[in-house]
Amino acid sequence: MSDGPPRFVLASPESDFYWRSGADGRLRIQRCGDCGRWIHPPGPVCPFCHSRRISPEPVAGTGTVATYTVNHKEWIPGFTPPYVFAFVELDEDPTVRIGTNIVGCEIDEVEIGMRVEVLFEESGEWHVPLFRPIQEGP
């Protein structure tokens, strides 16, 4: 269990997998088995070719910070300011944009264009995807 902020996850039948995916350390995004496009948020049908052959598929979990805000207000009790909320665009398809918190660095290190990778915070039955700067090897 985590001692992090309250993660009010309310999954839909389509998104249930998204919030559980991190149990094996992998982020998954819905993908069309016919046209190959990534679909997010997950839906009942491929919006591009209307195929129903859609299923969660692992992604690398790496991406780029498209934009972010530093919150100075405790919008939800338990989220102690300051904290970063960001949109991350995934490497597989930058039109897949993930809302998340950036962790694992100083607040003032976060910037647009920053390269980040997923990690998961366990919260009850969920594995909530967070992102941190990619740890560059020497």
Partner 1 sequence: MPEPLERRAVISGAAQSDIGRRLYRTGIDLTVEAALRAIDDAGLTTADIDGVSTYPGFGGSFGGAMGAELHEALRLSLNWRSSGVETAGPLGAVHNAILAVATGVARHVLVFRTVVEGSGGPLRPGTGGGGGGGTSGSAGPFQFMIPYGAASAACWVACYARRHMHDYGTTRTQLGAIAVNGRANAAANPKAIYTDPMTIDDYLAVRMVSEPLCLYDCDVPCDGSTAVVVSHRDYAPDVPAGAVGVNAIGTAIRGRPSWDQFDDLTSMMMRHTAASMWERTELSVDDVDTAQLYDGFSWLTLAWIEAMGFCGKGESGAFVEGGINIGPDGAVPLNTSGGQLSAGRLHGFGHLHEAVMQLRGTANIGVDDCEVVAVGAGGGPETGSLLLTKGPS
Indicate whether 31 belongs to the interface with partner 1 (CB under 8 A). Answer: no
With contacts defined by CB under 5 A, name the span among 9-17, 48-56, 73-81, 114-122 that binds Zn ion.
48-56
Establish whether the linkage from the previous residue to 82 is cis, with ω within 30° of 0.
yes
Q: Is residue 83 part of the contact set for partner 1 (CB under 8 A)?
A: yes
Q: Which does 62 bind (CB under 5 to 8 A by kind): partner 1, Zn ion, none?
A: none
- Does 128 interact with partner 1 (rule: CB under 8 A)? yes
Read off the DSSP letter of residue 12: -
Q: Which does 49 bind (CB under 5 to 8 A by kind): Zn ion, partner 1, none?
A: Zn ion
Alpha-carbon distance 46 to 36, whole Å?
A: 10
Residue 1 binds to partner 1 (criterion: CB under 8 A): no
Q: Which residues contact 101 (CB under 8 A, 6 or more apart)?
A: 83, 84, 85, 86, 130, 131
φ, ψ at 30 (rounded to 5°): -65, 135
- Residue type, position 132, single letter: R
Site residues (CB under 8 A) for partner 1? 5-12, 15, 40-41, 66-73, 75-77, 79, 83, 85-87, 95, 97-101, 112, 123, 126, 128
